[in-house]
Amino acid sequence: RLFVLGLNPLAEAYAVDPKDKRPVQLLPKLPAYNLTFARDGKWVSFFSQDATKSLWRAHADGTSPTQLTSPPLEVVYPAFSPDASRIAMMARIPGQPFKIYWVNADGGTLHELRTDVTNQADPTWSADGQSIIFGEPTNLWVESGKQKAMYISDLKSGQTSKIPGSDGWFCPRMSPDGRTLAALSLDLKRIGLFDFQTARWRDLPQPKGPNGPFWSADGQWVYFNAGEDGVWRLRVRDGHREFVLSTSSILPNHSCVATGFTPKQFIILACIRRSSDLYELDWE
């Protein structure tokens, strides 16, 4: 007899109140992963963690889901524009480089950014919604020996320019007021803040190994994941660091990362629930 362990990971999204640490599943009837709320709180975007890996948009309660992309394109990370009219995404066709695309939130033509940057990652919108800021995938994904930077692409002119001083940084996230860009160092040891008014960087070393940064609604804090150490936050004005929650203790049978906030300011967790079954097979 042959005994086989069958793994069946399931994508789930949860909202967690930072005060009572109680998780509530979001959109349980949909295979939603990396769920993002529009700024007005009326809509959500997510990509399906199934064979299609497609981008979807739905009402905040999960009703009227609309599929916006189709295979073979595989979506990795979506981001609403400030007015919720468009959604940018990091995606790729298997075997090809990662690219940044955008689509109207109601559906329609899929647009690819016009840029000479080969591999593109982690889109975030400018405050006026007319430009997309993006970086390049981490060295763990592609082009490990290449110097990488971050860029801003004007959707009207099609021009792409490099953000000053962004060599060695990736994973850009725009602040709610559109004045400051948070990013991670390629060695995952620092969080950087770029001020668009002064064109200067502020470097904040982080021993916890930050990943997946996102902003608080008031722009006073940058939250980040620190692997098994859970979720932390960093106060922008002075670099003060605080522990927020442990995802492993809240959802012990899941592998989770924090990705943002709900309209009620609950932390969103993108989770993979570990599920397995043991099979006994007769060998003939």
Q: Distance (Å, rounded) from C-alpha 232 to C-alpha 247?
A: 11
Q: What is the DSSP code string of 148-186?
A: ---EEEETTT--EEEPTT-TTEEEEEE-TTSSEEEEEET
Q: How many CA within 13 A on the CB side of residue 163?
A: 36
CB 213 within 8 A of CB 201: no
Q: Distance (Å, rounded) from C-alpha 162 to C-alpha 225?
A: 27
The residue type found at 59 is H
Classify the C-alpha dihedral 156-101-210-269 as positive or negative: positive
| pLDDT interval class at 143 (50, 70, 90) | low
CB 28 within 8 A of CB 253: no
Over the stretch 226-268, which tens digit does the pLDDT of each residue have? Answer: 988 899 999 999 999 999 999 999 998 888 999 999 999 999 9
Over the stretch 7-26, which tens digit does the pLDDT of each residue have? Answer: 767 788 999 998 999 999 99
- Chain centroid to Cα 187, Å, comes to 18
| pLDDT interval class at 31 (50, 70, 90) | confident
Nearest Cα to Cα of residue 76 among 171, 203, 4: 171
| pLDDT interval class at 201 (50, 70, 90) | very high
Which pLDDT score, from 0 to 100, does residue 47 have?
86
SS (H, E, C) 106-142: CCCCCEECCCCCCCCEEEEECCCCCEEEEECCCCCCC
Which range has the worst mean pLDDT, 7-11, 88-92, 188-192?
A: 7-11
Q: What is the DSSP code string of 225-257?
A: E-GGG-EEEEETTT--EEEEE-HHHHSTTEEEE
Which pLDDT score, from 0 to 100, does residue 109 have?
96
Which range has the worst mean pLDDT, 19-23, 49-53, 104-108, 225-229?
A: 49-53
Average model confidence (pLDDT) for the chain? 91
Model-level pTM? 0.90
Which pLDDT score, from 0 to 100, does residue 88 have?
98
| pLDDT interval class at 274 (50, 70, 90) | confident
Beta bridge partners of 101: 89, 112
Q: Distance (Å, rounded) from C-alpha 246 to C-alpha 256?
A: 10
